[in-house]
Structure 1
Amino acid sequence: MTEFQLAAALEQDCFVLGDLPLCRVLLMNDSQYPWFILVPRRAEIQELFQMNSSDQREFMRESSWFGERIMQHFNGDKLNVAALGNMVPQLHVHHVVRFQTDPAWPKPVWGASPAVAYTSDQADELIATVRAWLDGYSL
């Protein structure tokens, strides 16, 4: 079996924050939205149904746990969770905290406006916060 390798496009567009038991956690480099991506560390998986039932359950636990953390931290109005995969076929699930005041509201964030990269200080602070959550992960 092939080893897990993060898709090049995700590596290029995101900061790697760390790992949960199943998923690699990424931060999209777009400061307009708190936008995270969970990528199950399984090779050659494009759809949730391709994972075994144990991994599917673990994914739901991790997604729910992480979603709750980011909604509490950012005090968002809505959490968008989506797996598209049209451009990057590797299974990756977006977790985007939305606000009624964000640039794309109420439409999807994809293609709404060009990305605005985090400053070094912004990225460092957010990365440290999320890494602390990941270090303390438990259910």
Structure 2
Amino acid sequence: MLPDRKKGFVLDPRLEGESFPVAWLGLCELRIRDEKRWPWLLLIPQRPGVEEVHDLTPLDQAMLSFETNMVSKALKEMTGCTKINCGALGNIVRQLHLHIIARNEGDSGWPGAVWGYGAREPYKRETLHDFAEKLRCRL
């Protein structure tokens, strides 16, 4: 269970509906996107009303950078992937969230972006829980 979120913060229902909570990192909640084609994580700063990285305080920006690097490194070590893709688009879900995706040459959609490529393929629950537990141990 995650500790109480910052007062006034509410997770966007689209993020909640397509992802699974893994851990509380300090600034961000770490979640796994329920998409088995790519190991895909989300970092969601627990700050109400924030849409852009520059909307965060300088201290929160530094914390986001630290948490992004920590999670990216863990995901790369865990998966042995070729490349880590990080991005904060916000074109559909405006709430600030950062995507961290493990990519490999020859995976679905390589070398293009994962957004809009085919239909989402959810994990089997057991596989999702195993992935989350391995990630927690790695962090």
The two structures have a TM-score, normalised by structure 1, of 0.92
Aligned to 2:3: none
In the other structure, the counterpart of 1:120 is 125
Secondary structure class of the residue paired with 1:96? strand
**Structure 1 stretches (4+) deviating beyond 3 angstroms?**
none
1:45 and 2:43 are equivalent in the alignment = no
Determine what percentage of the aligned residue pairs are the same residue: 28
* Structure 1: distance between partners of 2:17 and 2:111: 27
One-letter amino acid of the structure 2 residue matched with residue 58 of structure 1 = M
Pairwise CA distance, 1:85:
0.4
Which amino acid letter does the alignment assign opposite residue 15 of structure 1? F
Deviation at 1:2, TM superposition (A): 5.7
**Alpha-carbon distance in 2 for matches of 1:58, 1:3:** 20
Pairwise CA RMSD: 1.3
Amino acid in structure 2 at the alignment position of 1:122? T
Alpha-carbon deviation of 1:133? Answer: 3.7
Which residue number in structure 2 is paired with residue 130 of structure 1?
135
- Structure 1 unmatched runs, 5+: 135-139
1:112, distance to aligned residue in structure 2 (A) = 0.8
Secondary structure of 2:50's counterpart equals coil
SS of 2:11 mapped into structure 1? coil
Residues 1:101 and 2:106 aligned together: yes
Following TM superposition, by how much is the alpha carbon of 1:132 offset from its aligned partner in structure 2, in angstroms? 2.7
State the match for 1:74 in structure 2.
Answer: 79
Shift of 1:70: 0.2
Residue type of the partner of 1:54?
L
Q: Which residue of 2 aligns with 1:137?
A: none
Q: Name the TM-score, length of structure 2 as normaliser.
A: 0.92
Structure 2 counterpart of 1:78, one-letter code:
K
Secondary structure of the structure 2 residue equivalent to 1:117: coil
Question: Partner of 1:31: helix, strand, or coil?
Answer: coil
SS in 2 for 1:118: coil
Matched, 1:91 2:96: yes
1:123 partner letter: L
CA separation in 2, counterparts of 1:84 and 1:99? 21
Alignment match, 2:61: 56
- Where do 5+ consecutive residues of structure 2 fail to align? 1-5
